[in-house]
Structure 1
Amino acid sequence: MLIQRLLAAIALIPLVLIILFFAPLSVFVVIMMIIGGIAAWEWAQFLHITNQQNKLFFALLMVVILAVLYFIPIPIELKITLYSVILSLSIIWWLIALILVITYPKTAHYWFNSITLKLLFAFFTLVPFFLGMVGLRSVNYSSNCYTGATLLLYVFVLVWATDTGAYFAGRSFGKRKLAPKVSPGKTVEGFIGGVSLAVVISVLAYFSNLINIKFNVFFISSLLAILVSVLGDLT
């Protein structure tokens, strides 16, 4: 397992850096659309879609949705409002996801056989992911194209640190199950280890002055990213 993680990291990290720092914004957007389509293909299993053609249709439909949202010819103010509404609704979805994780499997009957709810879950997971990635990459792009890339890299490092810290802490000290009915392998000790390592990374990042953001905004945003990454791993 560890060797697989290391090999995956060795293969992916250079590719991620190239996409973040060297790909033009337009290319980055297209790549994110493709990733959204691949994610939708995987999500199709959650919808009990087994036919390959139907899975492909669902994946292409997601790509079309993302393309329409990005390229829709409306005033920028209206587009920002639309994105803000979607992102706000996604926050509600993540709060619902937290409740569903805590109460699983008691509340599973509310959504398990509902295609409509599962489609909503897909929309409010994959679309905000796309908007967030593109939004961060676009930060200050006209004057410094590396600002958004640095922010995204920081988010990635936080997620990787959370996952890595949880893995090693869980293997070394894990005894108490975090959510045994959802993910039996996750432990409280792993959770603490993952969050602790990510917090250390965030402190180092702040005092390195690589990211020029007020401390309270930086800390709250970082903590939310860490906790959401844990919740995303459980859901």
Structure 2
Amino acid sequence: MLKSRLITALILIPIVIAALFLLPPAGFAIVTLAICMLAAWEWGQFAGLASSSQRVWLAVLCGLLLAFMTFTLPAYHPVHLPLIAGSLWAALGWWIVALVLVLTYPASASLWRASRVLRLLFGILTIVPFFWGMVALRQYHYDSDHFAGAWWLLYVLFLVWGADSGAYMFGRLFGKHKLAPRVSPGKTWEGFFGGLVTTGIIAWLFGLWAPLSVSPVTLLTCSIVATLASVLGDLTESMFKREAGIKDSGQLIPGHGGILDRIDSLTAAVPVFACLLLLAFGTL
């Protein structure tokens, strides 16, 4: 299991980095849209869509929605446009709600367990802001520097990967106290703090070597909140998987499960980071 995870990661990470720096914004948006469609297909399980055809239609409708939203905007999408800004602020609100749902689970499930509409709404609030967070960060100062946004996205990706890897290693070595046993019994407080230490090192190294031109206070605040959001994204998907009675969201990625299993942390971290950096702190 660990061997296949490492092999897959070694293959996927260079591909992701190449896509960040080599694809133009339009191409990057298309790739992100395809990932969101796959995520929507897997989310169908969480919403109680039993048949494959229903889940395919959900993926198609998600793709059409994102494509329609994209085509209604100018070629270069300023983040302050109502559609993008509204999506990012909605993400911030949704993840606050998700935190409450996770902390009060399983009692909270009584509010949404029987409602397919609510579970579909949760999927929209997870996937759509993730798409706009990715696009907004990639287009960050694109008119003056084609790679500025790629560096920011790479930074967020490394934060999330660092938090995940650090939590896994520290949890395996020192984990004794459960973080959220009713949601994800495998996660521990030792792993949680190990992930924070790992992301702290990554933030420090990026601050030294990468061209991230913001104040240290802004970078630190956005990084801490995004890291905490990444943990919440992971726990939230675990909560929905538990309710759906499944271990993995899919089998698309060998050793890693499905698309949602790989981007669950990013669906929270990316839009929250983009909202704070670009809107709350006004780093436009």
Normalising by structure 1, we get a TM-score of 0.95
Task: Quote the RMSD (CA, aligned, Å).
Answer: 1.7
Q: Which residue does 1:36 correspond to in 2?
A: 36
1:147 matched to 2:156? The reply is no
Q: What is the CA distance between 1:97 and its match in structure 2?
A: 0.4
SS in 2 for 1:140: coil
Alignment of 1:82-101 (within 5 A): 82-101=83-102
Q: Which residue does 1:161 correspond to in 2?
A: 162
Bigger share in helix: 1
Cα distance change, pair 73–220 in 1 and its aligned pair in 2 (3 A): closer
Counterparts of 2:141 and 2:80, CA distance in 1: 18
Q: Which residue does 1:187 correspond to in 2?
A: 188
1:45 matched to 2:50? The reply is no
SS in 2 for 1:212: coil
Contact in 1 for aligned 2:79/2:136 (Cα 8 Å)? no
Q: What is the CA distance between 1:86 and its match in structure 2?
A: 2.1
Q: Which residue does 1:118 correspond to in 2?
A: 119
1:8 matched to 2:5? The reply is no
Counterparts of 1:186 and 1:209, CA distance in 2: 31
Q: Which residue does 1:17 correspond to in 2?
A: 17
Q: Which residue does 1:70 correspond to in 2?
A: 70
SS in 2 for 1:85: helix
Counterparts of 1:158 and 1:18, CA distance in 2: 18
Counterparts of 1:78 and 1:137, CA distance in 2: 11
Q: What is the CA distance between 1:26 and its match in structure 2?
A: 0.9
Cα distance change, pair 207–139 in 1 and its aligned pair in 2 (3 A): same
Counterparts of 2:90 and 2:129, CA distance in 1: 9
Q: What is the CA distance between 1:18 and its match in structure 2?
A: 1.4
Q: Which amino acid in structure 1 is aligned with residue 132 of structure 2?
A: L
Counterparts of 2:80 and 2:217, CA distance in 1: 28
Normalising by structure 2, we get a TM-score of 0.79
Q: Which residue does 2:129 correspond to in 1?
A: 128
Q: How many residue pairs are counted as aligned between the two chains?
A: 235
Contact in 1 for aligned 2:167/2:191 (Cα 8 Å)? yes
SS in 2 for 1:186: strand
SS in 2 for 1:139: coil
Contact in 1 for aligned 2:112/2:119 (Cα 8 Å)? yes
Counterparts of 1:83 and 1:18, CA distance in 2: 25
Counterparts of 1:137 and 1:222, CA distance in 2: 17
Q: For structure 1, which segment, 199-208 or 74-83, has the greater mean C-alpha deviation from structure 2 after superposition?
A: 74-83
Relative contact order higher in (CA < 8 Å, ≥ 6 apart): 2
Cα distance change, pair 143–77 in 1 and its aligned pair in 2 (3 A): closer
Q: What is the CA distance between 1:73 and its match in structure 2?
A: 5.0
Q: Spell out structure 1 runs of 4+ moving beyond 4 A.
A: 73-79
Counterparts of 2:150 and 2:80, CA distance in 1: 22
Deviation per CA, 1:163-222, whole angstroms, max 9, x where unpaired? 000000000000000000000000000001011110111122112252111111111111
Counterparts of 2:45 and 2:226, CA distance in 1: 26
* Gap regions ≥5 residues in structure 1: none
Q: For structure 1, which segment, 69-78 or 2-11, has the greater mean C-alpha deviation from structure 2 after superposition?
A: 69-78
* Gap regions ≥5 residues in structure 2: 237-284
Counterparts of 1:199 and 1:78, CA distance in 2: 27
SS in 2 for 1:32: helix
Q: What is the CA distance between 1:7 and its match in structure 2?
A: 0.9
Q: Which residue does 1:216 correspond to in 2?
A: 217
Q: Which amino acid in structure 1 is aligned with residue 109 of structure 2?
A: A
Cα distance change, pair 133–49 in 1 and its aligned pair in 2 (3 A): same
Q: What is the CA distance between 1:37 and its match in structure 2?
A: 0.2
Q: For structure 1, which segment, 89-98 or 161-170, has the greater mean C-alpha deviation from structure 2 after superposition?
A: 89-98
Seq. identity, %: 43
Q: What is the CA distance between 1:225 and its match in structure 2?
A: 1.2
Q: What is the CA distance between 1:103 and its match in structure 2?
A: 0.5
